[in-house]
Amino acid sequence: MNSIENIDKKPVILSGITPSGILTIGHLTGALHNWVKLQNSYDCYFMIADQHAITVKQEPAALRKRTLDTAAMFIACGIDPETSNLFIQSHVPEHSQLTWVLSCFTGMGECGRMTQYKDKSEKHSENVGLFAYPILMASDILIYQANLVPVGEDQKQHLELSRNLANRFNFNYSETFAVPEPFIAEIGARIMSLQEPNKKMSKSDENSNATIFLTDSDTEIKNKIKRAVTDSGTGIKFSDEKPGIANLMTLYNISSGKSFKEIEEEFENAGYGDFKKAVGDSVANYLNPIRDKYFELRNNELKLKEILSLGADKARKTAMKTLRKVYKKIGFVSL
Ligand code: TRP
């Protein structure tokens, strides 16, 4: 990149979520809220990773629906499609094209040692897509010259491969890709399962009582919190020994803005029942406007697709530029 191009250029951020379930309050606090905060200071690319989803078996109609659900939820949570680049991965074919090139620079062992691959190939039937998944993820990142990638702990190993591939390509063919860094969000907003508070809340938990989905009604939210597993004993105190109560306190902290100290004071003499009721009411109020906005967007599919089509066009402009450079450097003929 020359210095003229560099002037006023914001650092690039890319992140994505695989549409393999309904988004949860954990996605809001752990990812989407942070993304929203970054929108104005960075050049952001946020995608719905439908191509990653098919590494495990998907029912076509359900995948189609969930992909659009996820896009609508991104916007409902505050992603502004005018400020950020919001798109569906499969709408930018350059990701797959770069994946092929990068595949030819990746050793079998580099993919084979990925812990997520080992876990998933044991749980689901294995396939080459599941094996090559981190190369697709590297392409997602490198094709936009992303500098920073907000990811959870589970994706760090994949990001390391992206960095290695960027450096390898740059070393062999001259500077082509930005080398991405992980962007670790501030801690404290990690939401745990309501049923097994030592486990992260997950969109694919078999027990739906364990998870607060962003589409849950007020009654569902309140009931799930009422049934949440708490710890033995009494007292509303934030401590490692009381993971159930700590998790509910985190939910209350996020939804009400009150500090842990304020919460402890407020419930000094209260029992678990009263506390849970307050948490349920607070979380329901907090998610209400997001859910309303979501249904409004989701009920106008034509408009939603129009937004995604514009998003894909914008993203493609950057993606095509990178791919063109790559093709030229590796010796493909341009016409
Ligand atoms: N693999 C990520 C997940 O399952 C989603 C994802 C796909 C992603 N491509 C990405 C995240 C690129 C960050 C950057 O959660």
Q: Residue 189's pLDDT is what?
A: 65
* CA 274/CA 265 separation, integer angstroms: 14
Percentage of the chain modeled with pLDDT above 70: 96
59-86 pLDDT per residue, tens: 999 999 999 999 999 999 999 999 999 9
90-144 pLDDT per residue, tens: 999 999 999 999 999 999 999 999 999 988 888 888 899 999 999 999 999 999 9
What is the mean pLDDT of the segment spanning 232-242?
87
Q: Measured from the CB, is residue 44 less than 6 Å from ligand 1? A: no
CATH homologous superfamily of 12-188+301-330 equals: HUPs (3.40.50.620)
Q: Is 303 annotated as catalytic?
A: no
- Bridge-partner residues for 150, per DSSP? 183
Q: State the span(s) of the chain assigned CATH 1.10.240.10.
A: 208-295
Q: Residue 187's pLDDT is what?
A: 53
What is the mean pLDDT of the segment spanning 235-239?
90
Instruction: Return all residues near 15 (Cβ < 8 A) that are at least 6 apart.
Output: 31, 35, 45, 46, 47, 149, 150, 151
Q: Is 261 annotated as catalytic?
A: no
Distance 312 CA to ligand 1 centre (A): 17
Percentage of the chain modeled with pLDDT above 90: 84
Distance 166 CA to ligand 1 centre (A): 17
- Considering only CA atoms, which residue is closest to atom 4 of ligand 1? 18
Burial of 139 (0-12, 13-18, 19+ CB in 10 A): buried
Distance 80 CA to ligand 1 centre (A): 20
CATH code 1.10.1740.10 for 208-295: no
Whether 66 contacts 22, CB under 8 Å: yes
Q: Is 37 annotated as catalytic?
A: no
Q: Which two tokens stand for residue 146?
A: 């992303």
Q: State the span(s) of the chain assigned CATH 3.40.50.620.
A: 12-188+301-330
Q: Residue 245's pLDDT is what?
A: 95
Catalytically annotated residue among 203, 222, 224, 242: 203
